[in-house]
Amino acid sequence: MKAFRMSLIMIVLCGLAFPLLMTGIAQILFPKQANGSILYNEKKQAIGSELIGQSFKNPKYFQGRVSSIEYDANGSGSKNYAPSNEEMIKRTQKDAEKWLKDHPGKTLKDVPLDLITNSGSGLDPHITPAAARFQIPKIIKANQGKVTEQQLEKLIQKHIEDRNIGVLGQPRVNVLLLNMDLQKVIQR
Amino acid sequence: MWNDLVQIGIVLLILFVLMVPMGKYLYIVFGDKESKLDRIFLPFEKVIYRISGIRQIEEMTWKKYAVTLLAINGILGVIAYFVLRFQGGLPLNPAKIENMEPSLIFNTITSFLTNTNLQHYSGESGLSVLSQMLVITMFMFTYAATGLAVCIAFIRGLSSKGRSIGNFYQDWLRAHTRVLIPLSLIVTLTLVALGVPQTLDANVTVQTLEGGKQTIAMGPVASLESIKHLGTNGGGFFGVNSSHPFENPNVFTNIIEILSMWIIPASLPFTYGRMVKNSKQGWVIFGVMLTIFLLLLSLVYSQEKAGNPAFNELGFSHNQGSMEGKEVRFGIPMSALFTSVTTAATTGTVNNMHDTLTPLGGLVPLSLMMLNSVFGGEGVGLMNMLMYAILAVFLSGLMVGRTPEFLGRKIEAKEMKLIVIALLAHPLIILMPSAIALGTTLGTEAISDSGFHGISQVLYEYTSSAANNGSGFEGLGDNTIFWNTTTGLVMLFGRYISMVVLLAVAGSLITKQPVPETLGTFRTDNATFGTILIGTVIIIGALTFFPVLVLGPVAEYLTIR
């Protein structure tokens, strides 16, 4: 009986009181983060989350990493391929060859690996700066002269997030933020 | 390379700074002396004692302690069953999630009951907001507290006299009120500040830049995230766990999560040192854990950094390392460190996909879970390491031909029998079911990668269950009656056999007359003993698991190299 009563108290305390109290405080102190760091356009429409990657099929935009779930953020996941999995090796080779079409004379070795591999979550919002620069020729071609190499280089430079406090993490580019700026340029 | 080492070094350094004071804090919390902490926490705890009908804190024998523990665990399991069974009709279900199916409930409940947090469901689609809080978040607290309480009781058995190993209610309650809840409060709010959502809404739908629709699942993530790591639980809010950008948005959250799951297992040796009144004992145990940990960490780091051998063969660049299944913001060092800590501390949260680790990289999480004592889960890791320590004393005793003693108590046939049960149970519940699964179509149907990697997948699933870790080689299609039931049973055995057996050891040791220390006493607080202990852990682990590791990861490595 003692055990039963104490169990009930702990269920209420840890299962209800704790998360609800935390939600209350978080909503007051950090409303933006607590609600998923949602980004809005000029018309105040929600267009995505700063933390969650988006699918970019249109060649006019920068692309993010491979996502077997097509950036469906109602779920999450990847194929969990083994390193020896043939499907994965084939997929990577195919993607690499597609990218190499815009880079005559270059070989597999030059394709940034993060661009042709599936992220763990399938929602990775970032690519490496090298992977962003690698896309420049494709984007110039697709936009038919609306944007120049210098402009793209400047955009990428602006969006490179360096290692935190100089050492922690990896240099990276947030694809959605980059494309939001790119959109302003190409829709002018 | 240098930058990578600096990153890992910084995290280790923060751990080193925090662990000794934390060990002292735990000692005060679970000590029998009055402390300043009472002034803050006791009034609150008194209310809980009163409502529970506990009038006085009686001393418990190991049997009473074990029975109370099992009773509370059982009661919570039954209540959670009903919540999951009827979650569709209960409040706080904005996404209209349906009731859960019984074999999956059995698996889910045992999984969280045993602090394993193996997840055969996916959080986004399988659980209502109420279930995420009332069942999952609650279990994470209560079972971490159970592990911590048992560990303290076990040390009392080694360090005090009489019959009592403490009072379970008191230990369990204090683990909540004085350790887990206050730490979770701090960690939760820090995580929210750094970007982790904490809301009661289940999702937001946005119009993407290209004009499509994207539904983004969220919820009370941060509150679960904090206790998930602090309690070495590991069950994620989302299917992909801490690789999801909402669970782990940047390198700072990544470090906080690593330290959260590491700090209690790493500071318990120091609590132990204080309780047995010889802080060197604690340092020896910690040193042994750290040495084995660093060996395995360097293996997984160097393997992932070198890239997938199959890719390198084809001429892909390997200067980023193996990036399939990893996130750009973490890169190789933060992924490798996370993988090692999560399997050492048997948390089971992941920030990259373990199934996709390179063959020898994947060997590391497997080995850490097989050893199950390098830091280890909340409390149980230290208990397992102390079990190895008693074994090491026994082996050394055999070699020189005298009765082995540990902390001034004679280790005799009764204790050794019990320890052998605990020692053999672990490989038995990993290898037997793996053999059954690989021998029947029920098991092999779930394998997603044929060949040697398939063996690793099955092996990983049962090792993870037995070590109460909960991470997986997630390619395995494991939400079937066969897998739900077998892994459920393995988790139960993995948790409770060693817990009860080791409590019995404590119950037996506590009644023994201490032997005075002489010049001839075999010392267990110096580097010599540390070396013997490392040898014992590695030799026992290797003898038991090497053959099956050769069939899985090693064979895969040799074929794609």
Q: For chain B, 561 residues long, give each residue's pLDDT as a single digit of tens.
A: 789 999 999 999 999 999 999 999 999 999 888 888 899 999 999 999 999 998 888 899 999 999 999 999 899 989 988 888 888 888 878 778 888 888 888 888 888 777 677 777 766 678 888 888 888 888 889 988 998 999 999 999 888 877 789 999 999 999 999 999 999 999 999 999 999 999 988 889 999 999 899 999 998 899 999 999 998 888 888 888 999 999 999 999 999 999 999 999 999 999 999 999 999 999 999 999 999 999 999 999 999 999 999 999 899 988 899 999 999 999 999 999 999 999 998 888 899 999 899 999 999 999 999 998 999 888 889 999 999 999 999 999 988 888 888 988 999 999 999 999 999 999 999 999 999 999 988 888 888 877 888 899 899 999 988 888 777 777 777 778 888 889 889 988 888 888 889 889 999 998 888 888 887 788 889 999 999 999 999 999 888 999 999 999 999 999 887
Which tens digit of pLDDT belongs to each residue from A137-184? 999 999 998 999 999 999 999 999 999 988 999 999 999 999 999 999
What pLDDT score was predicted for residue B377? 83
E strands in B174-253:
203-207, 213-217
User: Two tokens at B345?
Assistant: 């501390």
Q: How far apart are CA B525 and CA B522, in angstroms?
A: 9
Query: What DSSP string describes A97-142?
Result: HHHHTTSTT--GGGS-GGGGSB-SSS---EE-HHHHHHTHHHHHHH
Which tens digit of pLDDT belongs to each residue from A20-77? 999 999 999 999 999 999 999 888 899 999 999 999 999 999 999 999 999 998 878 8
Strand partners, A168: A164
Burial B398-431 (b: 16+ CB within 10 A, else e): eeeeeebbbbbbebeeebbebbebbbebbbbbbb
- Are the CB atoms for B141 and A14 separated by under 8 Å? yes
Comparing alpha-carbon positions, the chain B residue that sits nearest to A30 is B193
CB contact under 8 A, B208 and A48: yes
Q: How far apart are CA B510 and CA B435, in angstroms?
A: 39
Q: How far apart are CA B31 and CA B166, in angstroms?
A: 10
CB contact under 8 A, B356 and A26: no
- B304 interface with A at CB cutoff 8 Å: no
Distance from CA of A131 to the nearest CA of B (A): 11
* Length in residues, chain A: 188
Distance from CA of B347 to the nearest CA of A (A): 18
CB contact under 8 A, B246 and A51: yes
What pLDDT score was predicted for residue B123? 64
Whether residue B154 lies inside any domain: the answer is: yes
Q: What is the ipTM of this complex?
A: 0.95
CB contact under 8 A, B124 and A3: no
Whether residue B162 lies inside any domain: the answer is: yes
- B268 interface with A at CB cutoff 8 Å: no
- Are the CB atoms for B317 and A128 separated by under 8 Å? no
Other residues' Cβ atoms within 10 Å of the Cβ of residue B160 = 16
List the one residue out of A118, A148, A113 whose CA is nearest residue A134: A113
What pLDDT score was predicted for residue B337? 97
CB contact under 8 A, B356 and A82: yes
Chain A to chain B, count of Cβ pairs less than 8 Å apart? 350
Distance from CA of B450 to the nearest CA of A (A): 9
CB contact under 8 A, A120 and B353: yes
CB contact under 8 A, A80 and B199: no
Q: How far apart are CA B153 and CA B144, in angstroms?
A: 14
CB contact under 8 A, B310 and A93: no
Residues of chain B found within 8 Å of residue A81, distances taken between Cβ atoms: 324-325, 355-356, 449, 475
Whether residue B44 lies inside any domain: the answer is: yes
Cα B341–Cα B480–Cα B450 angle in degrees, nearest 5: 70
What pLDDT score was predicted for residue B561? 73
Domain extent for B216:
22-204+212-269
DSSP B219: S
Q: Which of A26, A128, A163 sits opposite B328 (nearest CB)?
A: A128
Whether residue B531 lies inside any domain: the answer is: no
List the one residue out of B225, B223, B250 whose CA is nearest residue B235: B225
List the one residue out of B243, B56, B219 whose CA is nearest residue B123: B219
What angle, 0 to 180 degrees and rounded to 10, lies between the N-to-C axes of helices B279-306 and B359-371? 160
Distance from CA of A55 to the nearest CA of B (A): 8
3-state secondary structure of B409: strand
Instruction: Work out whether the CA dihedral A139, A141, A146, A149 comes out positive or negative.
Output: positive
- B356 interface with A at CB cutoff 8 Å: yes
Helices (H) and strands (E) in chain A, counts: 8, 5
Whether residue B332 lies inside any domain: the answer is: no
Which residues in chain B (441-470) have CB-CB distances under 8 A to chain A? Answer: 448-449, 451-453, 456-457
- B29 interface with A at CB cutoff 8 Å: no
Whether residue B522 lies inside any domain: the answer is: no
- B47 interface with A at CB cutoff 8 Å: no
List the one residue out of B469, B468, B449 whose CA is nearest residue B457: B449
- A187 interface with B at CB cutoff 8 Å: no
Q: Which helix (H) or strand (E) holds B430?
A: helix B413-439
CB contact under 8 A, A5 and B352: no
Which residues in chain A (129-158) have CB-CB distances under 8 A to chain B? Answer: none
- B512 interface with A at CB cutoff 8 Å: no
- A68 interface with B at CB cutoff 8 Å: no
Residues of chain A found within 8 Å of residue B113, distances taken between Cβ atoms: none
Dihedral of the CA atoms A15, A20, A25, A27 (nearest 10)? 130
- Are the CB atoms for B346 and B377 separated by under 8 Å? yes
State the total domains in chain B.
1
CB contact under 8 A, B314 and A89: yes
Whether residue B199 lies inside any domain: the answer is: yes
Residues of chain A found within 8 Å of residue B327, distances taken between Cβ atoms: 119-121, 124, 126
List the one residue out of B546, B104, B118, B553 whose CA is nearest residue B355: B553
- B61 interface with A at CB cutoff 8 Å: no
Residues of chain A found within 8 Å of residue B192, distances taken between Cβ atoms: 22, 26, 29-30, 33-34
| Amino acid sitting at position B96 | K
What pLDDT score was predicted for residue B102? 81
Whether residue B373 lies inside any domain: the answer is: no
Mutate to test the interface with A, among B14, B242, B316, B339 (most CBs of A within 10 A): B316
Residues of chain B found within 8 Å of residue A61, distances taken between Cβ atoms: 209-210
Q: In angstroms, what CA-CA distances link B302 with A180, B5, B30, B296, B330?
A: 37, 11, 41, 10, 16
